[in-house]
Amino acid sequence: MSGILIKIAAPENFDVKLSKKSVVKALNPPAEPFKITLSNLDLLSGRFPVTYLYFYRKPQSDNFKAFVDALKSSLAQILDHYYPFAGQIVQNPKTSEPEIICDNNGALVIEAHTNIPIKDIDFYNLNETLQDKVVSVEPDFPTQIQVTEYSCGGMSIAFTFDHALGDASSFGKFIASWCEIAQKKPLSCIPDHTRHLRARSSPKYQPFLDQNFIRCTMEEIQNMPMNQISLKRLYHIKASSINMLQKLASADGVKKTKIEAFSAYVWKIIIGTIDQRHEKCKMGWLVDGRERMGRGENLMSNYIGNVLSVGFGGASIQELKEGSISDIANTVHEAISKVNNEAHFLDLIDWVECHRPGLMLAKAVLGGEVPTLVVSSGQRFPVTEVDFGFGSPLLGTVYTTIPRVGVGYMNQRLSAKGDGSWTVSAILWPELEDALKNDPIFHPMSASHLEL
């Protein structure tokens, strides 16, 4: 597959050429191929591709080929430990559900080159910058990496995964472990590939799950109602702003988390961006259940797979207009608390069992309701730690190649500056993007934030 040269359609000043494709296999794969049955929560998370993107300064060695060769060498080693990431995801004809075939099919590595320096990239408008350029997706490989060299000698690395392999915690462990291998350090995580989250012998669940989740078909996903939630944007938020929001949200004497405070602030912005015929406004929050399912003892900290749920909160437009940041943060806290417990995750696993086979999603993802924004925290996802031996990144963020979704989305993570500031990746509708343009807290990401 090497030696392929493809010119991708791009804006006049931004050419990207894919120069080489390689398949990297584990050095010591299992003796015989075997399959891993997906857990119920894997079936709920679907098959969407998710990308983690990092930008780096020019390495001292200034040898792109040597860097990529070293990256592929350490990738082959880490795939020994994360062997499902080198497998294939296929449909089981008997169950009509996907499963992972651990056959060492390999991970795809794409090498690319651009004609511009990193400082000239539009880091704010990700629709223009990334799609089919810095990030490309080939469905035959659940794990693929695109390494792009810029005219300044700097680089970007895009890690793209099939969501059936895992969630953000799983992918963060994989990337962090890969960096440890690259730096010749011992692995701090021994991955758990058991996918043991199964239904109880007599499945049962709370009725409200039927309001939030739905069994659906691929046709329903492909034909979701047209909407304008397609603007992919990147923001920088100062640490001082985050601390100020947390202080406002905690004004009633009850300390709120930073994500609760941030959500309350965003919720007040949203009400000015939706059709005033709507009486209510919703938000949602992705919740990782590892700590709750492990009963607070880190028993599942190395579990590879999906352990996610989403909690939704609704409030009237009037309540949101009149409420303080502290009042709204209380509503946020209540919505998250409703799903941030072991009982909820056990119920959710049983709910999936009662609706198999088929695809299952949070109802809001299909759209059709009042515009809803889902917030995801990447607070624990590695950013500065993503060092393959040539330095820490300038920027780390998450991205999706999905052209449109039924809900708006914001993902926050610590910026690479190491000063407590945030990088926020968002998928927005036009009115919400307009509202954030003049907001004092959301700063459109630019090269100056990266000190380029």
**pLDDT truncated to tens, each residue of the chain (452 aa)?**
333 333 333 345 688 899 999 999 999 998 999 999 999 999 998 778 899 999 999 988 878 999 999 999 999 999 999 999 999 999 999 988 899 999 999 999 999 999 999 999 999 999 888 877 877 778 889 999 999 999 999 999 999 999 999 999 999 999 999 999 999 999 999 999 999 999 999 999 999 999 999 998 777 777 777 678 889 999 999 999 999 999 999 999 999 999 999 999 999 999 999 887 888 899 999 999 999 887 766 789 999 999 999 999 999 999 999 999 999 999 999 999 999 999 999 999 999 999 998 778 898 888 866 779 999 999 889 999 999 999 999 999 999 888 778 899 999 999 999 999 999 999 999 999 999 999 999 999 999 999 88
- How would CATH label the architecture of 6-182? 2-Layer Sandwich (3.30)
Site of tokens 């799609």: 131
Cβ(409)–Cβ(293) below 8 Å: no
Q: Which whole-number Å values give the CA distances from 446 to 1, 122, 160, 234, in the listed order?
A: 36, 7, 23, 9
H/E run at residue 231? strand 231-237
Cβ(134)–Cβ(16) below 8 Å: yes
Rg (CA), the chain: 22
Amino acid 216: pLDDT: 82
Per DSSP bridges, beta strands 408-414 and 372-377 are parallel
Cβ(373)–Cβ(410) below 8 Å: yes
H helix and E strand count, the chain:
13, 19
What values do phi and psi take at 420, rounded to 5?
90, -5
Q: What is the 3-state secondary structure (H, E, C) of 297-363?
A: CCCCCCECCCCEEEEEEEEEHHHHHHCCHHHHHHHHHHHHHHHCCHHHHHHHHHHHHHHCCCEEEEH
Amino acid 337: pLDDT: 96
Q: One-letter amino acid identity for 179?
A: C
Amino acid 7: pLDDT: 36
Pick the CATH number of 209-379+402-450 from 3.90.1260.10, 3.30.559.10, 2.60.120.560, 1.10.150.240: 3.30.559.10
Tell me how far apart the alpha carbons of residues 197 and 300 are, in angstroms, rounded to a whole number. 11
Tell me how far apart the alpha carbons of residues 200 and 182 are, in angstroms, rounded to a whole number. 41
Cβ–Cβ contacts within 10 Å for residue 90, how many? 12
Tell me how far apart the alpha carbons of residues 193 and 296 are, in angstroms, rounded to a whole number. 20
Domain 6-182 matches domain 209-379+402-450 at the CATH topology level: yes
Per DSSP bridges, beta strands 213-216 and 34-37 are unpaired
Tell me how far apart the alpha carbons of residues 290 and 309 are, in angstroms, rounded to a whole number. 11
What values do phi and psi take at 221, rounded to 5?
-65, -45
Both tokens assigned to 371: 């515009």
Amino acid 9: pLDDT: 35
Tell me how far apart the alpha carbons of residues 409 and 256 are, in angstroms, rounded to a whole number. 21
Cβ–Cβ contacts within 10 Å for residue 159, how many? 20
Site of tokens 């004609």: 115
pTM for the full predicted model: 0.94
Q: Which class for 343: exposed (0-12), middle (13-18), buried (19 or more C-beta within 10 A)? A: exposed
Cβ–Cβ contacts within 10 Å for residue 111, how many? 22
Tell me how far apart the alpha carbons of residues 260 and 275 are, in angstroms, rounded to a whole number. 25
Cβ(261)–Cβ(250) below 8 Å: yes
206 bridge partner residues: none
Amino acid 2: pLDDT: 33
* Residue ranges covered by each domain of the chain: 6-182, 209-379+402-450
